[in-house]
Structure 1
Amino acid sequence: MFTMRRWGVFAAIAVGLAGLATPAQARTDYELDVPVAEYSTQSTNIRATADGIAADEDGMAIYSPTELPMQVNAFEADAPGAQVDVRGRLPDGQWTEWTDNGQLDEPVSTVQVRLVLAKQSEVRGARLRLRHDPRRVTANARALSYRVYATREGLVGGKTANGHIIVQRDHFAALPSRRGLAPKGSGSYTVQVCAGNGRCAWAPVWDVGPWNTRDDYWNQPRQEWNDLPRGVPQAQAAYQNDYNAGRDQFGRDVRNPAGIDLGDGTFWDGLKLTGSSWVTVTYLWTVPGPFGYVHTPGDTLNVRGGTSSGTAVVGIAGHTAQVRVECETRGEVVTGSQGTTDGWLRIAPGKFVSKAYVSGVTGAATC
């Protein structure tokens, strides 16, 4: 259990990870003691010790969300041996990006904690002080799309940053920052990737790279390299313009301008690419409006050019991928993981999926 304290009050209030505490007064500071040994199954490369947790290789400990009795948008963390990332759940169920800079993108009343451990490190305790800072201005929602260079990840049999074991013709993406890294088996951070041939793919972000690990180039400000234009990956600037003497954050010579890596299935089957290519990437967690999640365990979902199985396949959405719903219409009756329905969702201009395979969609307009 997390322990939550109101600063300046001697009594401690213990609350469950999903519990709700009632403060004695509104708009104050709270402290959360993270139960470091109670990490979730979405954690990777973490083991329990007698007095905490440890990582024999780079790892992440993820904890269940915690409901707070107030909205917060700022925090201070104390966790010797780990980097503390925090994200917040928004009213529509989407999450803010993970952040370690003490500032959340928007005021939230539900937070989640992730501890990032380097190889051969240990953590015995972690504590957060959360507060609402009225001076912080909430950024307006904005759909972010950028044209970046995509490479194929490969590495079948390897492990991604979130602990996923890569299989043949896998469907996922990698971005060069943990800020948009989805927990294992989830699609809370998904990219829509469209190629010049007109095909698009929807893939959850399950790995970190290429080249860098702190280059959230779609943000402004970003974690590093703030003298670069928004939307330009550091690797692209290094390769094309000899930025940072042509090297990445680790001092390696950058040999391509990649801003995204794609799993083999996303690359070959979703986009029908045969070689590295420039693509348009939309970071779907930045897109406002209705959304849902693809449920096709062990398989993918065909994206079609119309509302029947007889129309052309114009892309692929991976299992757990998030799709943003432009509108809903009627078409062929389909039976899938979510039941039987004639509902079809337009998830991009001219691109549809059957609602029979998509969960959680509410409030979609009629096409």
Structure 2
Amino acid sequence: MIRIKKAGRVTAAVLAAGAVTALAGAPAQAAPVSPGTAGWTADLSTVDTDDVNVAAAGGTLTLADAAWHRTARVFAGSEGSLITAEHALGTPANRVSAQVSAETPKGTTVEVDVRGRTGADDWTEWTPAGTAFRTGVSSVQVRLSLHSDTDGVRPVVRGVSLSADTAPQVNALAATAALTYRVYGTREGLVGGTTANGHTIVSHDHFVSFPSGKSVSPKGTGNYTARVCRTDGSKCEYAPVWEIGPWNERDDYWNPASVRSEFKDLPQGKPEAQAAYLDGYNNRKDDSGRTVQNPAGIDLADGVFWDGLGMSDNGYVNVTYLWTGTGPAGTVKTAGSPMNVRASASTSAAIKGLAANYAKVTIECYVNGDSVTGTFGTSTIWDRIGPGHYVSDTYLQTGSDLPVAPHC
């Protein structure tokens, strides 16, 4: 579901970082980086295929098309985003702050989110700049999001100064199994539209959407992947998170209250839309003031909805937020189509669902089974990626020719 911005909203991410932001189109100057911290500036000169509706010119960044709407659900205004190259830190840190020099006419905002690398292919969630991660990180990426409520009106970013330090940690990240919650799922549709990470939606597409930007994977990746299953467990799909919605845009409901962005009084695992629709929470409104019409906590692209899960109508599903757990992992690499997930290590075993290209899956253990030739050669190794879910290791990029998990 598409984000609809409130006019004149203050950007929490920028304020949390101590940024100086222009008002009513007046230029603002970035404050100097705090002494004693590692400092650098964001490169605003290069825009590539991972970025969405932004243009760089003369060292500034703005919306490429100030009247561009990602899908038919957006009727006015525009948005865009740029993800910077990974920046290695001199020493590990758990907080990155940003100071922004920008022109922000009325109805426009600039937001700065950061994420940190915690392993070879492991990242923290995207976090508002100035907010501490729950673990130390060795390198970071920065995501700049530009928004306008009015067609033709653009914010202009002239510079972003960044600094890394270590802050007192709250709820340090511990090794744990990924979180699973039962939430209401709706079909995304919107073929021909554009997702939050710049992917053009195609027929029978394979991705999912949550009502928070914290878990959006950059285009062509599955750093944040969900396992979505029918409530009877008969069919599941492993799919990357590429979109923001449904309803809210800051409701990372899977997180505990200490780090949940909004609606901290709700139980962990309960989407705000569910509470609004079923319990009358927040006067039945979402965070943009719209009356919530269903209790959805996840949107499913058509391929996930129809092909992976075999659903014919919206309904409850069991969702595992795989990035919230730890353990060996691999990334699905196919020629493009999803791969079958089997009930055992055999090409003739029952199909339990699908694993989408780019999905990052947890490898619980491995067994030997049928020989398969795939993206990474020929092998008899099969990886168990969930309860009774097996895929050939030849389609998983693990960084090793040997098993990365113990034998089952």
TM-score normalised by the chain length of structure 2: 0.81
Q: 1:85 to 1:135 in 2, by over 3 A?
A: closer
Please state whether the residue corresponding to 1:53 is helix, strand or coil: strand
Please state whether the residue corresponding to 1:118 is helix, strand or coil: strand
CA distance in 1, matches of 2:175, 2:156: 38
Question: 4+ residue stretches of structure 1 with deviation over 6 A?
Answer: none
Q: Please state if 1:49 is matched with 2:70.
A: no
Query: Structure 1: which amino acid aligns with 2:160?
Result: A
Q: 1:229 aligns with which of 243, 260, 267?
A: 267
Please state whether the residue corresponding to 2:182 is helix, strand or coil: strand
Report if the CA contact (8 A) 2:186-2:299 is conserved: yes
**1:300-327 Cα shifts (integer Å, max 9, x gaps):** 1000111111111110011101111110
Alignment of 1:305-324 (within 5 A): 305-324=343-362
Report what 1:24 is aligned to: none
Report what 2:205 is aligned to: 170
CA distance in 2, matches of 1:274, 1:127: 49
Please state whether the residue corresponding to 1:90 is helix, strand or coil: coil
Query: Structure 1: which amino acid aligns with 2:155?
Result: S
Please state whether the residue corresponding to 2:305 is helix, strand or coil: helix
CA distance in 1, matches of 2:197, 2:340: 25
Query: Structure 2: which amino acid aligns with 1:29?
Result: T
Q: 1:214 aligns with which of 226, 238, 250?
A: 250
Query: Structure 2: which amino acid aligns with 1:74?
Result: R
Report what 1:356 is aligned to: 394
Report what 2:330 is aligned to: 292
Q: Please state if 1:263 is matched with 2:301.
A: yes
Report if the CA contact (8 A) 1:54-1:121 is conserved: yes
Q: 1:152 aligns with which of 187, 190, 212?
A: 187
Query: Structure 1: which amino acid aligns with 2:141?
Result: Q
Q: 2:286 aligns with which of 232, 240, 248?
A: 248
After alignment, is 179-188 or 70-79 more displaced? 70-79
Report what 1:303 is aligned to: 341
CA distance in 1, matches of 2:61, 2:129: 23
Report if the CA contact (8 A) 2:121-2:223 is conserved: no
After alignment, is 48-57 or 255-264 more displaced? 48-57
CA distance in 1, matches of 2:124, 2:395: 25
Q: 2:162 aligns with which of 115, 128, 135?
A: 128
Report if the CA contact (8 A) 2:185-2:300 is conserved: yes
CA distance in 2, matches of 1:52, 1:341: 50
Alignment of 1:87-106 (within 5 A): 87-102=115-130, 103-106=132-135
Report if the CA contact (8 A) 1:284-1:323 is conserved: yes
Please state whether the residue corresponding to 1:236 is helix, strand or coil: helix
Q: 1:182 to 1:63 in 2, by over 3 A?
A: same
CA distance in 1, matches of 2:169, 2:84: 29
CA distance in 2, matches of 1:108, 1:70: 9
| RMSD, aligned α-carbons | 1.6
CA distance in 1, matches of 2:169, 2:55: 40
Report if the CA contact (8 A) 1:40-1:63 is conserved: no
CA distance in 2, matches of 1:193, 1:320: 15
Query: Structure 1: which amino acid aligns with 2:406?
Result: A
Report if the CA contact (8 A) 2:98-2:129 is conserved: no
After alignment, is 72-81 or 202-211 more displaced? 72-81
**1:62-96 Cα shifts (integer Å, max 9, x gaps):** 01111111011122211244211110000353000
**1:119-167 Cα shifts (integer Å, max 9, x gaps):** 3222111011210125555232432111100000001111111110000
Report if the CA contact (8 A) 2:33-2:161 is conserved: no
CA distance in 2, matches of 1:135, 1:258: 32
Please state whether the residue corresponding to 1:266 is helix, strand or coil: helix
Q: Which has the higher strand share?
A: 1
CA distance in 1, matches of 2:34, 2:267: 41
CA distance in 2, matches of 1:233, 1:191: 16
Please state whether the residue corresponding to 2:144 is helix, strand or coil: strand
Q: CA deviation at 1:29?
A: 1.4
Report if the CA contact (8 A) 1:326-1:348 is conserved: yes
Report what 1:109 is aligned to: 138
Report if the CA contact (8 A) 1:290-1:361 is conserved: no
Q: CA deviation at 1:38?
A: 2.6
Where does structure 1 lack aligned partners over 5 or more consecutive residues? 9-27
Q: CA deviation at 1:6?
A: 8.8
CA distance in 2, matches of 1:273, 1:42: 31
CA distance in 2, matches of 1:101, 1:228: 24
After alignment, is 78-87 or 136-145 more displaced? 136-145
Please state whether the residue corresponding to 1:353 is helix, strand or coil: strand
CA distance in 2, matches of 1:42, 1:71: 26
Please state whether the residue corresponding to 2:136 is helix, strand or coil: strand
Report if the CA contact (8 A) 1:29-1:132 is conserved: no
Query: Structure 1: which amino acid aligns with 2:42?
Result: V
How many residues align structurally?
344
Q: CA deviation at 1:265?
A: 0.5
Report what 1:282 is aligned to: 320
User: Identity percentage over the alignment?
Assistant: 45
